[in-house]
Structure 1
C-alpha cells in the first residue's frame, strides 16, 4: 500500500505547507531501544510479514547465524530489524546458507580456496574446512549469502594450471522448498509456471542438492523481521 501511495505522490507538485517538515527527537517519539529489542513475541504487521522478538541480542544472533529456517518446507526469510526502516525497506531476497563443495583435492582443502569457490555462489560469510586433528573431510564447507531470485547453482568448475579442470558438485544445508524443474526457491515443480508437466520428465535439479538434515537444537536462539515464502 505504501509503495503505491508513494508512487502517486511522486507525480504531484506540493504546496509550501505540505513541504514543511515535522521535526522530532527520537527520545520523544521512538519506542525505547530496549523495549523494541526485547519484547518477546511474534507479531504479524502485514500479510506474511512478522516481527519476531527474542529474549536477548545473543539469541537473535544465534537464530540468524543458524538459518535458513523453514516450516512445512517453506522458507522463513529473516533480516535483523532496524527501527529506522519501514516494512517496505526489507527485500527478503537473500538467503544465508552453508554450501558443501565436493571433489576438491586434499592439498587444496584451504580456507582460501573455499572463499574463492564460494564467491561464485554468493557473498562469502565464513568458511569451515574442518581441519581439526588433521581431518580435512570429504568436502569444503562455506557459508554464503545468495540472491534467491536466481537459479540454484549446482556446481563450480575448478581450473588450475597443473591439472585438468575438475567439476565440483555443490550441496546445500537446510535447503528449503525449491523447484526441481527451474531451480528457483519458493515453490515445488507442481506449482512452477515455466516447467512443462510431462510424465516421466527428467529434471535438471533434484533432492540431491540437499545435504542430510542436521540435528537441530531444541532451544530457540532481540529481534528480527520475518517473511514466509512460497505462500500466497
Structure 2
C-alpha cells in the first residue's frame, strides 16, 4: 500500500501551470444585446441594505412589476434588465434612488465601463442664502461647483421667483461628504455662509456626512480611536503623511507649475488640470530649447494663472468639463408638482376639438380625464349636459379636484353633495288629495290620464257624458302633484 502511495506522489507535479481559458468569441456566449436595456447599480451601504430584498422590492417600488428582472452580481453590485426602453428611461429620469433609506448608485450599462463607473450620482441641490448681488448664472454655477460638478442650473432671471433657494443638479462623488454649508468671501460684503440642501438623500453618517456608512461604523472615527490609543501608549504626536507629489524631477513641468495647481481637486476627486492638458503643455515645452524654452515656460505659467482666476475658464479650459445646462423649469427633477400651469394643455386641446372649450370633453380634459376624450359616449354625454342645466361635472381621476356639480371636496377627498330635501306632504295627505281630485273630475266629465306600468306611456280613457257622446283626449295634460288614480 505504501509503495502505491509513493508512486502516486511521485507522479504529481508541483510545477504544473494553470493555463488561462479563452472564452469563445461567439454570439451565443455573449449577453451584450440583452444588456443594452439594463441598469447596473451599487449598494452604497451594504451592511444596511440586503441584496435579496432589493432584487424583489425595487420592481414594485418602480411600478414595473413583471416588466423588469434583477440579478445579483456580487455582494454590492446588481443589474436590472428591462423589457422595453421606455421603462428604463423612466427609472433613470427619477434621479437618485434609495433602498432601506440608504442611497443607490445606478447608471446605464456600458460595455467597457470607465474606472470611475458607479462612483458618481446625480443630485439636485438647493443653494440658500445667496447675496442679492450674485443672482447670476455664473455665480450660482461657481457655488454649486463647491460641492460637485454642476450639470444643470434651474434659474430664470426674467421671471418671478417664489422660492428662497436656487436649484442646481450636480455630479456628486459618493466618496465625498455632503457638506451642509460653506463660508464664501464676497467682495464688499465679506464672508457669507452658504447653505446646501440635498434632495432625495435620506440617511447619512452623522459624523463625516457620507452616504456609505452609519456613524457607529464610521472608518474616520475608528481610525481616530486607534491612533489615539497608540499615541497615548507611546507618548508620541501624530504626524499626517505627506501626499505623493504629482510633478517629479525630470518632468518638463517640474518647476513651471506648483504642486497645488496639479493636485487632486478636494471636491471633485479628480485632477485640477486634466491629463490631456498636461500632456499638451509637456509637448509644447519639449519642442523648444534655450531662450525659446524659457519664453514658453512663462507663457504656460501666465495662462494657467489667468485661467484659475475665472471658475468658468478653469472648468472648461483646464479640467475640460462641459458647461452646465441652464433650464427655466425651476421644478425640474422634482416629479409631479401640482400647480396652475395646465392652461397650455387646455388651449391646445381646444384647437383639436370642434367647438373649443364649449365642449364638455375639454372640461373633462382640464379636470384630468384626458384619456376619456377618446370615448365618444363621454363626449356626447358631456355636450348634452352642457346644453342642459343639470349641473353635471366630471372630476377626472384626481381625488384632489374641487369642481362644482354633483361632487364637492371634503377632508378625505371628493364626496357626493347632499342636496336640499324635497318638501312633499306625507303619504296619507297625498292619497287623500288624489281621491278628492278624482271625484271632482268624474263629476265634471273631465278626461283622466292614468299612469300605466311603463312610465314612458300613458293610456287614454274615454268617459261618457250626459249627452252620450264620447270625449277623446288628443293631447296629454299633466296635473302638478297628481297622485295615483283611485279608480
Structure 1 residue 107, shift from structure 2 partner: 4.2
The structure 1 residue matched to 2:135, chosen from 89, 99, 109, is 109
Residues 35 and 109, structure 2, Cα contact 8 Å, conserved in 1: no
Structure 1 residue 115, shift from structure 2 partner: 1.1
Give the structure with the larger helix fraction.
Answer: 2
| Structure-1 separation of matches of 2:85 and 2:137 | 29
The answer to whether 1:73 aligns with 2:98 is no
| Structure-1 separation of matches of 2:130 and 2:334 | 26
TM-score of the pair, normalised by structure 2: 0.33
- The change in CA–CA distance for 1:106 and 1:53 in structure 2 (over 3 A counts) is farther
Structure 1 residue 83, shift from structure 2 partner: 2.8
The answer to whether 1:44 aligns with 2:77 is no
| Structure-1 separation of matches of 2:183 and 2:88 | 36
Give the structure with the larger strand fraction.
Answer: 1
Q: Which structure 1 segments of 5+ residues have no match?
A: 1-13, 197-213, 218-232
Show the 5 A alignment for 1:148-227.
Answer: 148-195=174-221
Structure 1 residue 173, shift from structure 2 partner: 0.5
| Structure-2 separation of matches of 1:136 and 1:82 | 41
| Counterpart for residue 118 of structure 1 | 144
Residues 32 and 111, structure 2, Cα contact 8 Å, conserved in 1: no
Structure 1 residue 178, shift from structure 2 partner: 1.0
Off by >4 Å, runs of 4+ in structure 1: 21-25, 88-91, 214-217
Residues 36 and 109, structure 2, Cα contact 8 Å, conserved in 1: no
- Count of equivalent residues: 182
- The change in CA–CA distance for 1:35 and 1:192 in structure 2 (over 3 A counts) is closer
| Structure-2 separation of matches of 1:59 and 1:95 | 20
Residues 129 and 136, structure 1, Cα contact 8 Å, conserved in 2: no
| Counterpart for residue 92 of structure 1 | 118
TM-superposition CA deviations, 1:132-169 (whole Å, max 9, x none): 74216211111111222122222233333232231111
| Structure-2 separation of matches of 1:79 and 1:35 | 12
| Structure-2 separation of matches of 1:116 and 1:50 | 35
Quick check: 170-179 or 151-160, which moved more? Answer: 151-160
| Structure-2 separation of matches of 1:151 and 1:89 | 21
| Counterpart for residue 91 of structure 2 | 63
Residues 94 and 335, structure 2, Cα contact 8 Å, conserved in 1: no
Structure 1 residue 28, shift from structure 2 partner: 7.0
Residues 117 and 156, structure 1, Cα contact 8 Å, conserved in 2: no
| Bigger radius of gyration | 2
Determine helix, strand or coil for the equivalent of 1:60: helix
TM-superposition CA deviations, 1:17-53 (whole Å, max 9, x none): 97xx88947x675436366417832111222321112
Structure 1 residue 56, shift from structure 2 partner: 3.8
Q: Which structure 2 segments of 5+ residues have no match?
A: 1-16, 39-66, 223-332, 337-487
| Structure-2 separation of matches of 1:106 and 1:58 | 42
Determine helix, strand or coil for the equivalent of 1:144: strand
Determine helix, strand or coil for the equivalent of 2:111: coil
- The change in CA–CA distance for 1:195 and 1:37 in structure 2 (over 3 A counts) is same
